[in-house]
Structure 1
Amino acid sequence: MTPLRGARAWQPGLDPRAERHLPQPPLSSGSGSAGNGSAATGPVLVVGGGIAGLTAATGLAERGVDVVLVEREATLGGRVRSWPVDADAAAEAPGLTMSRGFHAFFRQYYNLRALLRRADPGLERLRPVPDYPLTLADGPTDSFAGIPRTPPLSIAAFVARSPSFPISALAKVDIGAALGLLDVRFPQTYSELDGVSAAEVLDRLHFPDQARHLALEVFARSFFADPTDFSGGELVAMFHTYFTGSAEGLLFDVPDDDYDSALWQPLARHLTGLGVELRTGTSVTRLEESADGIRAELDDGSSLTVSDVVLATDRATLQRLVGEATWLGTPTWRDALATQRVAPPFAVWRLWLDRPAAQGSPLFLGTSGYGPLDNITFVDQMEAGAAAWAEQSGGCVVEVHAYAVPPGTEEATLREVLRRELHRLHPELATATVVHEEWQLSQDCPLAGTDPWADRPGVVTPDPRVVLAGDGIRCELPVALMERAATTGWLAANALLARRGLAGHELWTVPMRGRGQSVAHSARRLLGAAR
């Protein structure tokens, strides 16, 4: 896409330097598709009903394209879905829901927010979180409340206020390497750090020991990866997106109810109104090339013949479908996709307890040094359904996460340690009775490893009829996690729209380059004073 600078009547957020990216012009009529030499006119199959698939379906349907979306789960949202707790198994907590864990909707997530606005124009279903403290065991707790939004003031204010950055430790920071974090440009920065892990990036900076938990044990692990196996380029992009390159601030929003009720049911109604056929609880088992398009076989025994396909699935499913589609692309391309890895397992444990948390407990607390515990979320402070249960019962609904769980970890041992660390931080809950609990241990997140960035699969494939989307798909823009899923969904739709001679959708991102001399000058003064 082409960045567009200059005057504009609308901005997606508060940062005046946010960049608008226009889609490539549509191809001329008759440009055709692989296999038949004529422009695509038939329906599009979207495989996967997570953020990426929902975005692609939205982008296509809004231009009048017939879309069939197939999702294997009963509810939409992918790794950001929720579902009802089984009434038979949880008679004590009827009507409550489970999910795959907490997600932060940052204000920099312009393209995800553009999707959500389709069903909620004012984003009224998102509510701001006043703070998300990050605590180090036997160490300091950092806060993001009250930090100015705009670099370099945000950087200076945070470092000046943070107990994780004592002046004595700042004197040891490698100023040249630190300023390199500000000298970024995308997508080049991704490739420049090929083979370098997130841990190595901070080693080069000589970050204070207490500060490393901010960048490694908290932020890097949000990618469900061990810092020694997580891409240094992705870490630097995170610094840029959330801190050094954006003036949207460091706080975020959360939905006011479970994901399905607040986000995906309203969007499903919007898509249905556009004519999208939604098939949930169904899987695509195979893709075959046929004389009249691409034939998809489903696990219910039915089949579909379509002109184009968006593969917006988890990594394992993508690898299986592509590996069996020997007509798709080249052996070299299919082999490269097959080598992409998944991140280690992660655990989500939701507990309905018979007593409340201590007054003033934060909705979300990031942790480091508490064994496998990565964060604690009080769901009843966020979701209307959980809040109603807590008010009625006098209890609370708490969720704990453990990211990058080492393979072979015994589930019983992991639970026991997580329980102990929860009680270490919330001793008032140590004697609480568990009214109900839900446990998830999953391993289906793509790994953003230290492998060459350019070798990762991109949106466009060797066959223009088939495009990819998801948070594990290579994207030249500085986006990650849910925002990468949404962004690649829009890009996938745009690629297929261009083939049909239809206009695509614009995208927005934080600046594609670092903020330059003003931030560097401020950083030099701050770090220099520490010496």
Structure 2
Amino acid sequence: MNQLSNSPESSTFSRRTLLKWFGIGSIAGVTGYSRFSKPQPTVFQRDTLKLPRMLNQDKSVVVIGAGLAGLACAYELSQRGFAVTLLEKSPQLGGKIASWQVEAVGETFIMEHGFHGFFPQYYNLNSLVTELGINEHFQSLNFYAVVYRDRKYQPEVFRPSRSAFPWNIIDLAIASPNRLQWGINLINLKHLQVFQAITGFQREKNYRRFDNISVADWVEKEFPRGLYDLYFLPFAKSSLNAPDLMSVGELMQFFHFYFFGNPEGLAFNGTKDDMGTSLVQPIAKAILSNGGKIITGATVSEISAVEGKIDSLKYLIGTNKNNVPFWVKRNSVVADEKIEYFGAADEVFAAQIGAQEAISLTCTHQGCTVKKTDDGKFHCPCHGAVFADDGKVLKGPAQRDLNKFKVVQRQDEELQLVATNQESTLPQTITADYYVFATDVPGVQQLFKRINGDVEQKVRSQVANLSIADPFAVCRFWFDRDFHWEQSSFTSLSGYQLTDSITLYHRIQEQFIDWAKRTGGSVVELHAYCYKEKQFPTQETLLTTFEQELYEIVPELKQAKVLHRELVNQHNFSGYPPNSYAERPETSTGVSNLIFAGDWVKMPFPCGLMERAVSSGLLAANEILSRESLQRRSLLSVNPEGLLQI
């Protein structure tokens, strides 16, 4: 059922409405958008009073999670005189933009979670870059392309533009080799409704109308097919949410931010080095230079809540072993002739049949669950760490062996375990005036499981109901030769079973450019934004499919030799499914000294991806600044409303 045709707000179009759109008033409105007077960013938050910027008393903040949201929040508060402690579970900072070392072709390289583009309308992220003085770490990619597996569409090429809506659509139509295949017929009432919906964005109205239906269901009937194939499908998947699990309301927000409400044009920058070197480390250095503390490898073990607020928390460094005996049930999913599995989700344990010792299958790098492969070793599906069958680390980025546990007793289908005592650590206790939870969705849900005491039930429910998108995967290949490629160095791909983009790292990042010059080789990365686990249940199926599709995308590479492969696979990106907006947590919570930050937080203005994470962190900092009567940071966004509203 088409959602637009059933919406009471869009069920009829009067003659007056049509005249408003296409009559004299519409023409005047369109021509009023000059190419030479581009609309300016919208200031979301600006204090009218002149308030102090710096804190003049002792106030402390604990930020949990050092992804972009946590880093941005800690950065702003440390600049204002707060005593900031930033806790990160991983050895590396950065979350989804973290970097780590890998060994390949006899050399050491820096690996990351795939290519990230920095768009000009990332106003808040770009303001941090300017403040840190690191603009030279970024470079323009000049243009980028979308290539379609279905040969009925020619590649689309997007270049820098200074034209806002509607000129950007006019420019796109003029430049597009597929313009006659868009399939838009504004005489068709339902096509007209679609056009109005995507160009007349109003945030609250948008979510009320469209949050109850998925993108896949919405486009099923009488949606302009060419428009969907050419733009909606590839760009919707770049949000890392699959069309069958993504709210139309969220898609509208996404398109308004990146295109219809964006006055900056379609172009972006990339980093000259890895994301850790280019962005994460400079932010961390600024936090430390202002007296902030950053603690990595820190796992929060307990959070104490008293009288409706956070009183203190405990965290462990390193091994994170539980010295209290606990029971785990037999895992009914994983079967093995030699190994018994107990526990589930991210707390799985393995023991040789009849053995008196078990190992945790939680990777000591970032907490992913490792899996046994045909070689008898345990491989981490997220970042490629490898462990022997006894838990000994064989390959990084993990630095510690898998944790070991003694089998205390067996009872039917349960096992009682207790951590072995060697290398055990005592928890550290920390108290603060404010606490900011800035982890990913699995992380914040784990934090709430560790809260002891009374916490408002609504907040618990909101966190518990957060969704995780389908997993994403990245595979980077080192080849012994280069190849001809006429598209952009980063190119979106559409129509493939797994692959959604290709990045030529040996033409973008300096470490790979240098290697390619010395060896004549190439470094190519394929990215799957949101694949279905049922289709690709193992690392082997992912690797095989990536390689097969790469040879279809770049046939020349069939004659090349693969020198090395690195697979990154994670399942922690925020999901935006239908009916999730209303109950999405906001920055301020029902817990008086608890603040939320992360791309899963309900945002009061249009934003997406990295800009959404950074903006949420700065919004969290602003909430604390406001409570202390300090000047808030001005936050920018695109125009919050679309041009063609009815």
TM-score (norm 2): 0.72
Residue 175 of structure 2 aligns with which residue? 161
Residue 33 of structure 1 aligns with which residue? none
- Give the stretch that moved more between structures: 277-286 or 287-296: 287-296
How far 1:27 moved relative to its partner? 13
How far 1:328 moved relative to its partner? 5.8
Residue 150 of structure 1 aligns with which residue? 164
Whole-Å separation in 2 of the counterparts to 1:489 and 1:49? 10
- Give the stretch that moved more between structures: 400-409 or 439-448: 400-409
> Alpha-carbon deviations, 1:120-152, whole Å to 9, x = none?
26x221111122211111332111126553221
Residue 76 of structure 2 aligns with which residue? 59
Whole-Å separation in 1 of the counterparts to 2:208 and 2:457? 24
SS across alignment from 2:502: strand
Whole-Å separation in 1 of the counterparts to 2:179 and 2:485? 29
SS across alignment from 1:401: strand
Q: 1:22 aligns with which of 35, 45, 55?
A: 45
Residue 428 of structure 1 aligns with which residue? 556
Equivalent residues of 2:50, 2:631 under 8 A apart: no
Unmatched tracts of structure 2, length 5 or more: 1-36, 318-426
Whole-Å separation in 1 of the counterparts to 2:644 and 2:233? 28
The structure-2 alpha-carbon separation of the partners of 1:217 and 1:412, relative to structure 1 and needing over 3 Å to count, comes to farther
Residue 36 of structure 1 aligns with which residue? none
How far 1:15 moved relative to its partner? 4.6
> Alpha-carbon deviations, 1:361-390, whole Å to 9, x = none?
421111111211111111122211111111
Residue 398 of structure 1 aligns with which residue? 524
Residue 525 of structure 1 aligns with which residue? none
- Structure of greater Rg: 2
How far 1:174 moved relative to its partner? 0.9
Equivalent residues of 1:353, 1:397 under 8 A apart: yes
Equivalent residues of 2:477, 2:563 under 8 A apart: yes
Equivalent residues of 1:322, 1:328 under 8 A apart: no
How far 1:229 moved relative to its partner? 1.1
How far 1:204 moved relative to its partner? 6.2
1:384 aligns with 2:510: yes
The structure-2 alpha-carbon separation of the partners of 1:27 and 1:447, relative to structure 1 and needing over 3 Å to count, comes to farther
How far 1:19 moved relative to its partner? 0.4
1:511 aligns with 2:636: no
1:254 aligns with 2:254: no
Residue 130 of structure 2 aligns with which residue? 117
How far 1:265 moved relative to its partner? 1.5
Residue 265 of structure 1 aligns with which residue? 281
Whole-Å separation in 2 of the counterparts to 1:449 and 1:25? 37
Runs of 4+ off more than 4 Å: 23-29, 290-293
Whole-Å separation in 2 of the counterparts to 1:131 and 1:28? 43
> Alpha-carbon deviations, 1:370-426, whole Å to 9, x = none?
211111111122211111111111111111011222123233222222211111111
Whole-Å separation in 2 of the counterparts to 1:167 and 1:428? 30
The structure-2 alpha-carbon separation of the partners of 1:302 and 1:146, relative to structure 1 and needing over 3 Å to count, comes to closer
Tell me how large the CA RMSD over aligned residues is.
2.5
The structure-2 alpha-carbon separation of the partners of 1:196 and 1:290, relative to structure 1 and needing over 3 Å to count, comes to closer
Equivalent residues of 2:183, 2:227 under 8 A apart: no
Residue 244 of structure 2 aligns with which residue? 228
Whole-Å separation in 2 of the counterparts to 1:245 and 1:67? 36
After superposition, residues 467-478 of structure 1 pair within 5 angstroms as 467-478=595-606
Q: 2:118 aligns with which of 89, 105, 114?
A: 105
SS across alignment from 1:514: coil
The structure-2 alpha-carbon separation of the partners of 1:360 and 1:200, relative to structure 1 and needing over 3 Å to count, comes to same
Residue 328 of structure 2 aligns with which residue? none
> Alpha-carbon deviations, 1:274-309, whole Å to 9, x = none?
111111222223221369963221122322111111
Unmatched tracts of structure 1, length 5 or more: 1-13, 30-38, 521-531
Whole-Å separation in 2 of the counterparts to 1:466 and 1:185? 29
SS across alignment from 1:166: helix
1:43 aligns with 2:60: yes
Residue 140 of structure 2 aligns with which residue? 128
How far 1:118 moved relative to its partner? 2.7
Equivalent residues of 1:323, 1:338 under 8 A apart: no
Residue 6 of structure 1 aligns with which residue? none
Equivalent residues of 2:65, 2:89 under 8 A apart: yes
Q: 2:467 aligns with which of 324, 341, 344?
A: 341
How far 1:159 moved relative to its partner? 2.3
Equivalent residues of 2:237, 2:243 under 8 A apart: yes
Which structure is higher in RCO with an 8 Å CA cutoff and minimum separation 6? Answer: 1
- Give the stretch that moved more between structures: 504-513 or 265-274: 265-274
- May I ask how many residue pairs the two structures share in their alignment? 490
Whole-Å separation in 1 of the counterparts to 2:517 and 2:90? 31
After superposition, residues 241-320 of structure 1 pair within 5 angstroms as 241-289=257-305, 294-300=311-317, 301-320=427-446
Whole-Å separation in 1 of the counterparts to 2:604 and 2:566? 38
Equivalent residues of 1:26, 1:504 under 8 A apart: no
Whole-Å separation in 2 of the counterparts to 1:166 and 1:299? 61
The structure-2 alpha-carbon separation of the partners of 1:326 and 1:223, relative to structure 1 and needing over 3 Å to count, comes to farther
Structure ranking higher in helix proportion:
1
- Give 1:491's aligned amino acid: L
Whole-Å separation in 1 of the counterparts to 2:505 and 2:294? 29
How far 1:160 moved relative to its partner? 3.3
TM-score (norm 1): 0.86
Equivalent residues of 1:459, 1:468 under 8 A apart: yes
Structure ranking higher in strand proportion:
2
The structure-2 alpha-carbon separation of the partners of 1:260 and 1:452, relative to structure 1 and needing over 3 Å to count, comes to closer
Residue 528 of structure 1 aligns with which residue? none
How far 1:40 moved relative to its partner? 9.1
After superposition, residues 408-419 of structure 1 pair within 5 angstroms as 408=534, 409-410=536-537, 411-419=539-547
SS across alignment from 1:143: strand
Equivalent residues of 1:367, 1:373 under 8 A apart: yes
Whole-Å separation in 1 of the counterparts to 2:233 and 2:632? 39
Residue 447 of structure 1 aligns with which residue? 575
Q: 2:613 aligns with which of 468, 473, 485?
A: 485
The structure-2 alpha-carbon separation of the partners of 1:203 and 1:23, relative to structure 1 and needing over 3 Å to count, comes to farther
Whole-Å separation in 1 of the counterparts to 2:114 and 2:514? 19
Residue 437 of structure 1 aligns with which residue? 565
- Give 2:176's aligned amino acid: S
- Give 2:120's aligned amino acid: R
After superposition, residues 452-471 of structure 1 pair within 5 angstroms as 452-471=580-599
Equivalent residues of 1:174, 1:204 under 8 A apart: no
The structure-2 alpha-carbon separation of the partners of 1:155 and 1:110, relative to structure 1 and needing over 3 Å to count, comes to same
Whole-Å separation in 1 of the counterparts to 2:208 and 2:453? 30
Whole-Å separation in 2 of the counterparts to 1:512 and 1:367? 30
Identical positions, percent: 30
Whole-Å separation in 1 of the counterparts to 2:592 and 2:501? 42
Equivalent residues of 2:503, 2:524 under 8 A apart: yes
How far 1:42 moved relative to its partner? 3.1
